[in-house]
Amino acid sequence: MNIPFLDLGDVNAPLQTEIEQAALRVIRSGQYLYGDEIHNFEQKWAAANGTAYCVSTANGLDALTAALHCLKTLCHWPDNSEVIVSAHTFIASFEAITRCNLKPVPCDVSPHDYNIDCNRITALINANTVAIMPVHIYGRPCDMQTIKAIADSHSLRIITDSCQMHPQWSMVNGQLSTGVDVTAFSFYPAKNMGALGDAGCLITDNKQLAELARAYCNYGANVKYHHEIKGINSRMDAVQAAILSVKLTHLDEQNKLRQHQALRYSQAITNPLITLPYGGRDTDKSCWHVYPVFCHKRQKLQEWLSANGVGTIIHYPVPPHKQKAYAELNTLTLPVTERLCNTELSLPLNPALTAEQQDYIIDVINNFT
Ligand SMILES: Cc1ncc(COP(=O)(O)O)c(C=O)c1O
């Protein structure tokens, strides 16, 4: 059997008619940027996440950048102010911080959920610290209640990177987590709610922040050709907004399917060489952007799966603090993050994966020696 890690054509095929109708509607409307499609999607996504405002952007990195830039402006943070960021993340979380002339301070993650280790945050706080950036890695929510308590007791802001968790799912005692200043999403095609190109957005309950972010992403202008601040060009295009509105109507059922697939993996993978995510428990506590397993013989495991036709990806082989681009951080040692990066392997998990394919993958993994 040949099973790619992810075939987006297969994932989108069941929605083809709806997607084509949405795209055609935009093509015929003559309105390709701004307009009703953007407005409608922003309203729906804000509602889906229980927030007041949504500002669409061209991608997730811009959403994170706009979030930080606008908080920096509103809170008068000096350059080089420090943002404590989860060390186990895609490089974009760090890039957004440095793009704003702020300093990323990586915080090691918990071995239990791979998210920022709340027990390590306080020790990193000093007079230059202005914010915490938790990242819901692999689709599993961080402990937002504890992060919020720490932030409040030190007057820090929270910018959440939810690029891997759709929607914002930080259910705390059955409630959507509140008190986060701003949350950023990426709708990169491979995400749980993926566009057919680049797209992103931020959500917030702060009107001033939303308005500033909207202007910032529009060359600093609220009124055409009247530029009040120095901005950037970061727009979601209307075709993507229309497609994302379609995708949103299927997100819940697709997330449930992902949870079901995660449960099957966690129940059926019994090879003692493989460590299951979250100890094989709590499969209902993630929207499973990724199903990560951990293995000390990771390279051999990946080769074994590949030789048997199963595609996998490593998220991520090198953590941001060990990247050449962040040479200034290279001397840091963050043992949990580094161990995860040395042992992690993501298995195929997506709405197009069939039960038969999954059974095959489970068999191949259980036969790995
Ligand atoms: C954790 C995280 N942050 C930020 C991003 C950046 O999103 P984009 O690629 O849309 O800029 C991604 C997406 O890949 C991500 O996974």
How far is residue 207 from each of residues 148, 214, 346, measured CA to CA in Å?
A: 20, 10, 39
Q: Is the four-CA dihedral 355, 356, 357, 360 of positive or negative sign?
A: positive
Q: Are residues 229 and 127 in the same domain?
A: yes
Nearest ligand 1 atom to alpha carbon 164? 16
CATH number at residue 230: 3.40.640.10
Supply the pLDDT for residue 168: 81
Q: What spatial distance separates the first Cα and last Cα of the chain, rounded to whole Å?
A: 20
Domain boundary residue, one of 197, 216, 244: 244
30-77: per-residue pLDDT in tens? Answer: 999 989 999 999 999 999 998 999 999 999 999 999 999 999 999 999
Q: Are residues 171 and 205 in the same domain?
A: yes
**CB-side neighbour CA atoms (13 Å) of 339:** 13
Q: Is residue 2 part of a domain?
A: no
Q: Are residues 130 and 208 in the same domain?
A: yes
Supply the pLDDT for residue 175: 55
Supply the pLDDT for residue 176: 59
Q: Are residues 315 and 191 in the same domain?
A: no
CATH number at residue 362: 3.90.1150.10
Q: Are residues 231 and 267 in the same domain?
A: no
123-172: per-residue pLDDT in tens? Answer: 999 999 999 999 999 999 999 989 999 999 999 999 999 999 998 865 54
Write down the residue that tokens 């990560």 correspond to.
292
Supply the pLDDT for residue 308: 98
Q: Are residues 150 and 91 in the same domain?
A: yes
pLDDT, mean of residues 185-206: 97
Q: Which residues contact 28 (CB under 8 A, 6 or more apart)?
A: none
Q: Check if 92 has its Cβ closer than 6 Å to any atom of ligand 1.
A: yes
Q: Which residues contact 345 (CB under 8 A, 6 or more apart)?
A: 292, 293, 294, 295, 298, 301, 302, 305, 312, 313, 314
Do β-strands 171-172 and 157-161 pair in parallel, antiparallel, or remain unpaired? unpaired
Instruction: Kindly report the average pLDDT of the chain as a whole number.
Output: 96
Number of domains making up the chain: 2
Look at residue 174 and tell me whether its pLDDT is greater than 60: no
Domain boundary residue, one of 191, 223, 244: 244
Q: Check if 60 has its Cβ closer than 6 Å to any atom of ligand 1.
A: yes
Look at residue 299 and tell me whether its pLDDT is greater than 80: yes
Q: Which residues contact 76 (CB under 8 A, 6 or more apart)?
A: none
For residue 71, how far is its CA from the centre of ligand 1 (angstroms)?
20
Contact 310, 162 (CB under 8 A): no
Backbone torsions φ then ψ of 164, nearest 5 degrees: -110, 5
How far is residue 32 from each of residues 153, 221, 243, measured CA to CA in Å?
A: 45, 19, 13
pTM: predicted TM-score of the whole model, two decimal places: 0.97
Q: Are residues 256 and 239 in the same domain?
A: no
Q: Whose CA is nearest to atom 7 of ligand 1?
A: 60
Q: Is residue 99 part of a domain?
A: yes
Q: Is residue 287 part of a domain?
A: yes
Supply the pLDDT for residue 173: 47
Q: Are residues 212 and 313 in the same domain?
A: no
206-239: per-residue pLDDT in tens? Answer: 999 999 999 999 999 999 999 999 999 999 999 9
Instruction: Render the burial of 215-226: b for 16+ CB within 10 Å, e for the rest.
Output: bbbbeeeeeeee
Q: Is residue 173 part of a domain?
A: yes
Q: Are residues 263 and 187 in the same domain?
A: no
Q: Is residue 1 part of a domain?
A: no
* DSSP label at residue 348: P
Domain boundary residue, one of 244, 275, 296: 244
Q: Are residues 226 and 357 in the same domain?
A: no
Pocket test for ligand 1, best of 109, 115, 164 (most atoms within 8 A of CB): 164
Q: Are residues 238 and 335 in the same domain?
A: no
Omega of the bond prior to 316 within 30 degrees of 0, cis?
Answer: yes
236-261: per-residue pLDDT in tens? Answer: 999 999 999 999 999 999 999 999 99
Q: Is residue 3 part of a domain?
A: no
pLDDT, mean of residues 294-322: 98
For residue 91, how far is its CA from the centre of ligand 1 (angstroms)?
8
The domain in which residue 93 lies consists of 8-108+116-244
Nearest ligand 1 atom to alpha carbon 137? 1
Q: Are residues 279 and 345 in the same domain?
A: yes
For residue 269, how far is its CA from the centre of ligand 1 (angstroms)?
29
The 3-state DSSP class for residue 332 equals: coil
